[in-house]
Amino acid sequence: MNIWKKAILALLCCMLTVAPAIAAESIVIKGSTTVLPIAQGALEAYMKAHKGVQISLSGGGSGEGIKAIVDGTADIGNSSREIKKDEISLAQKKGVKPVAHIVAFDALVPVVHPSNPVQGLTVEQLSLIYQGKITNWKEVGGKDMKIVAISRDSSSGTFESWDHFVMKKTKVSPRAQMLASNGAVYTAVSKNRYSIGYLGMGYVKKGVKGLAVAGVQATPETALSRQYPMSRELYMYTNGEPKGETAKFLAFVKGPAGQKIVAKEGFVPLKADAPGGKGKK
């Protein structure tokens, strides 16, 4: 290696170590694959408008988002559920004060393959299917074929919501398939006519059919009015009140431009009359 190569290499190393300090601001976001498309859309728009701001984003479950806040490895932790009591006490032990910011509303939607004639189920039926007590579609008004229940992994806030709304005190059968993200559930259900899964509203697209629950179809209106039985908030958590660039980013997400992205991604904006929101009163 000649002296020039060495010099260039040394320079590169310096730049790599110094780079994060040079960049004006950086924000690290982790957690929830349900909130992921909102965060992704928002950070693209935000970084375009604010040159020099570096935002990094990774998915994982809501548990991982909250854990990142508690461990201090992220500035924003995305979550599709509220923080749990033991997570709060763990945070307090570490001197972390999680603050919740609601960024959107969501409905938890059971989904099936588009060829499935079943249009809707009751919460009771959903629970029995996931417990493994109803195993054939004909028991709930469909064709005579086996049901393949697809669930999210236990790190998922969507799984927690499902547990809360549907399973209540019962357990998801060990025969249910456990998949790691909304995207994986979407892919699996869209390719499998036996299957049933559940997704955040923004993931319910053409390849799958959203079922009505107790006769109510999930729409922005029914989610917001809570007429749809499985509605929930989507959160971004910070340690204490956010400051600096993180605060500006959160304000952006909650502001009109951010809420437009929320609607575009198929979720329910905070105010139904926000620009781009489908809900009109």
Residues that bind another protein (CB under 8 A): 60-61, 63-64, 67, 71, 86-87, 90, 145-146, 148, 153-155, 171, 173-180, 184, 187-188, 191-192, 194-195
Distance from C-alpha of 114 to C-alpha of 107, rounded to nearest angstrom? 19
Closer CB to another protein, 149 or 272, in the complex? 149
Distance from C-alpha of 193 to C-alpha of 185, rounded to nearest angstrom? 13
Q: How far is the CB of 180 from another protein (least distance, A)?
A: 5
Q: How far is the CB of 12 from another protein (least distance, A)?
A: 25
Angle at 171 between CA 189 and CA 116, to 5 degrees: 25
Nearest one of 7, 185, 191 to 108, comparing CA atoms: 185
Q: How far is the CB of 198 from another protein (least distance, A)?
A: 15
Distance from C-alpha of 62 to C-alpha of 70, rounded to nearest angstrom? 12
Q: How far is the CB of 94 from another protein (least distance, A)?
A: 10
Q: How far is the CB of 212 from another protein (least distance, A)?
A: 24
Closer CB to another protein, 127 or 222, in the complex? 127
Closer CB to another protein, 61 or 220, in the complex? 61
Angle at 225 between CA 221 and CA 227, to 5 degrees: 95
Q: How far is the CB of 280 from another protein (least distance, A)?
A: 38
Please provide the DSSP assignment of 63-74 as one string.
HHHHHHHHHTS-
**Tokens (6 digits) for 71:** 């461990």
Distance from C-alpha of 8 to C-alpha of 3, rounded to nearest angstrom? 9
Helix (H) and strand (E) counts in the chain = 10, 11
Q: How far is the CB of 105 from another protein (least distance, A)?
A: 24
Amino acid found at 132 = G
DSSP state of 163: I
Closer CB to another protein, 159 or 228, in the complex? 159
Q: How far is the CB of 197 from another protein (least distance, A)?
A: 12
Closer CB to another protein, 119 or 177, in the complex? 177
Closer CB to another protein, 60 or 279, in the complex? 60
Interhelix angle 244-254/256-264, rounded to 10 degrees, is 60
DSSP state of 79: E
Closer CB to another protein, 50 or 194, in the complex? 194
- Asked if 19 contacts 67 with a C-beta cutoff of 8 angstroms, the reply is no
Distance from C-alpha of 3 to C-alpha of 274, rounded to nearest angstrom? 60
Closer CB to another protein, 55 or 185, in the complex? 185
- Asked if 270 contacts 107 with a C-beta cutoff of 8 angstroms, the reply is no
